[in-house]
Amino acid sequence: MRKFTCCQNSVTAITETAKVLQEQHLLIKLNRQLASLTHSNQFNIALHLFHKIRSLYHLNPDHYTLSTTLTACANLCNISFGNKLHAHAIKSGLKIYSHVSNTLLLLYAKVQDIVSVKWVFGEIENPDVFSYTTLLSACTKMGHVAYACEIFDEMPQRDLAVWNAMVTGCMESGNKEIGFGLFRDMCRLGVKRDNYSFASVLSGCNLITVDFGLQVHSLAIKTGLLVRISVVNALITMYFNRENVEDACLAFDEVEDSAHDQITYNVMIDGLASMGRVEEALMMFRKMLGKYLRPTEFTFVSLMSSCLHAEVGYQFHAQAIKLGFEAHTSLNNATISMYSICGDLSTACTVFQRLERKDIVSWNTMISSYAQGNFGTSAVLTYLEMQRNGIRADEFTFGSLLASSEIIETVEMIHALVFRNNLISIIQVSNALISSYSKHGNMKQAYQIFCDMSYTNLISWNTIISGFLLNRLAMQGLQQFSKLMVSEFRPNEYTLSIILSICASVLALRQGKQVHSYIIRLGFSLESSSGNALITMYSKCGLLDWSLRVFNAMTKRDLVSWNALISAYAQHGKGNEAVHWFETMQDLVQPDEATFTIILSACSHAGLVDDGIRIFNSMVSKYGVVPGFGHFSCIVDLLGRAGRFDEVEIIMNDENFEPHPDIWWTLLSACAARGNLKLGRLAAGLLLEAEQDNPSVYVLLSNMYAAAGQWEEAANVRQLMTDSKVMKQTGYSWISS
């Protein structure tokens, strides 16, 4: 019996050992599957397999299982699943393995939980290079630079990966001076730099750090790292950050094609597009396709962002769909923005509605699109739908809603929502509220918000001063500017242009000259909005020669500069000079709709009929500008003053003619002056349909009948005026007897 028991125990032991070995082999096999899934970015399937290991196979995960699954969690930023794995690591004692602790560090770094990152790192007995690199990278990127520097200084030994983590983190978090300083320390201490070191520093250089960027470029050539793709990409980025297109293109052309990848072309396309070199960006895209490099999602985002013509945008959109990017959220966001900018809001809305995975940017882009198109109601309805979908609004959401607000009640409602969501302390939101209240004429509330702000920036000051200008409160605007001058902020060119507009509105020549002196003293360039504002200010204050002097002092003149000068001569009744400057500008700048309105008005008031007709015809035939009611009003006034009513009738019968009360008033006045009863009666009839309660129409028409000797018709018009209960305002004089 004992012998049997002994044998039975041995068989049991052998069976249990075989079972353990079988489970170990199965776990090894499943661990390999987990690793394969993680390496191929199939993270959700990896998490599902981990669940099966425990529930279906009834296996206990080992440290390899746990670290691999934590890596999948980190890439998905799945903190809830990660917390369960963390708890299991502590309970099972597997947290003592360095690769388990390191992947926990990676998880918390990915979800930006800096407290947990520091806690996990503090419990690692012997941190390795990966531990330090992950900690320092997380801390610097999340703004905890002082803590990172403290840990870095205490390290017994620092290898290249640790240096790179510090430099890259500082550059990405905006602490560029610290990042540049660390790179200098690497050079001084003889630490070998690699392509990551150079790429981090070069991509962070901009207009302010020009000399340092050139030094790093030279060092990259000296160390032979300019053949590395990441360094080339960063170098091109640096030159675009400096707005130096020529050197960016030179950096691209100087290296062999083997040093160009998809990212290189993406950087070139994005840089050229951001600098307004759209044609060159398109050529670079074609070159990319010619090199058989597959465009990425970012390629199309850059192209969409620079596209100003719907026809071209349709082609990009079709190509992106063809390459399988249709479901990508960031691409769809750029597509929505592109269609709205091109004026095709219907297609933008269709793209938005078909997008399954909408993020906060998607909703903000659609709301912003409605706001830019002045569809305030649609913007509010989209916001309400966004709320129903559980998406929390941010400062950009409320900024767009405020920009599109059509009535003061909407602004007040958004104001209340901003308070409820604790966003009032964000400067951008307060600035948007000031702008909206100003736009709707409630300067008291706008100024109250400005005064209640804990922190302001120059935009805040510009917004409140602009509000005073908009609401014709010139003295308050000048007083606010005086307060700005003694604050911590210095006015920029936009501030000065607002103040000059205020000075022009109240003919404050003395203050305008003081602002001009300030512009010269501080070295502001006149090639900007301030120069254009000076031309207008001097013109309105009666100093036309000073307007011309400012214009001649500008080495760079844009369309607004020419319009301001032509308008100055027009306002002073110098039609021939206005035509001269209009003819001069055509060789340098293409006139726009506003230019033609200004010059046609100048011709009308100066009686330059032939010049006016010639310019009006060239507007259509040469420049392809479709006349608006402003242009028609000017040409009708021009021809009417000259008594050429037959030509007026020809224009009125034109298919592009756009009826408007302003045109009918212009025509009625000309007919009254010239005694053209036929057209005058027509204009008066059309005006009475729109402005039945306006006594001026009745009076002018009655006077026209009287001047033509048709006394009965004149009396009938007066009777109609009485029957309609329209009262003519009694005239009065400021001069008392």
Could you write out the DSSP letters of every residue in 91-117? Answer: HHTGGGSHHHHHHHHHHHHHTT-HHHH
Please write the tens of the pLDDT for every residue from 283-320: 999 999 888 889 999 999 988 888 878 788 888 899 89
pLDDT greater at residue 2 or residue 552: 552
Percentage above 70 pLDDT, the chain: 95
Of 273, 274, 261, the C-alpha closest to 234 is 261
DSSP 410: H
Query: Alpha-carbon distance 194 to 161, whole Å?
Result: 10
8 Å CB contact between 133 and 166: no
Please write the tens of the pLDDT for every residue from 698-708: 888 888 888 88
722: tokens are: 């009485």
Residue 705, pLDDT score: 85
Lowest mean pLDDT segment, chosen from 20-34, 113-127, 378-392: 20-34
Find the DSSP H helices in 77-224. 79-92, 98-110, 114-122, 129-141, 145-154, 160-172, 176-189, 195-203, 210-222
Q: What is the mean pLDDT of residues 24-34?
A: 87
8 Å CB contact between 64 and 29: no
pLDDT greater at residue 579 or residue 204: 579
pLDDT at 208 over 70: no
pLDDT at 526 over 80: no
Percentage above 90 pLDDT, the chain: 45
210: tokens are: 């020009």
96: tokens are: 């003592």
Task: Give residue 70's identity as a one-letter amino acid code.
Answer: L
Confidence of residue 277 (pLDDT cuts 50, 70, 90): confident
Q: What is the mean pLDDT of residues 623-634?
A: 88
Q: How many CB atoms within 10 Å of residue 547? A: 25
pLDDT at 580 over 90: yes
Q: Per mean pLDDT, which of 225-234, 499-508, 617-626 is the most reliable?
A: 499-508
94: tokens are: 């597997």
pLDDT at 731 over 70: no
Residue 673, pLDDT score: 86
Q: What is the mean pLDDT of residues 102-120?
A: 92
Lowest mean pLDDT segment, chosen from 7-11, 532-536, 676-680: 7-11
Residue 307, pLDDT score: 82
Please write the tens of the pLDDT for every residue from 424-482: 888 999 999 999 999 999 999 999 999 999 889 999 999 999 999 999 999 999 999 99
Residue 1, pLDDT score: 46
Of 80, 110, 85, the C-alpha closest to 95 is 85
Q: What is the mean pLDDT of residues 31-54?
A: 90
Q: How many CB atoms within 10 Å of residue 104? A: 29
Confidence of residue 568 (pLDDT cuts 50, 70, 90): very high
Of 532, 598, 597, 524, the C-alpha closest to 567 is 598
pLDDT at 364 over 90: yes
Residue 331, pLDDT score: 92
Q: How many CB atoms within 10 Å of residue 527? A: 16
Query: Alpha-carbon distance 120 to 83, whole Å?
Result: 12
Return mean pLDDT, the chain: 88
Confidence of residue 503 (pLDDT cuts 50, 70, 90): very high
pLDDT greater at residue 536 or residue 682: 536
pLDDT at 628 over 90: no
DSSP 259: G
8 Å CB contact between 461 and 489: yes
pLDDT greater at residue 556 or residue 448: 448
Q: How many CB atoms within 10 Å of residue 512? A: 26
- What b-and-e string marks burial along 633-656, b requiring 16 or more CB atoms within 10 Å of the CB? bbbbbbbbbbebbebbeebbeeee
Q: What is the mean pLDDT of residues 359-383?
A: 92
Confidence of residue 574 (pLDDT cuts 50, 70, 90): very high
Residue 735, pLDDT score: 59
Q: What is the per-residue DSSP string for 606-663?
A: HT-HHHHHHHHHHHHHTT-PPP-HHHHHHHHHHHHHTT-HHHHHHHHTSTT----HHH
Confidence of residue 512 (pLDDT cuts 50, 70, 90): very high
Query: Alpha-carbon distance 610 to 27, whole Å?
Result: 94
Residue 383, pLDDT score: 92
685: tokens are: 């009839």
8 Å CB contact between 637 and 674: no
Residue 737, pLDDT score: 41
588: tokens are: 């340098």
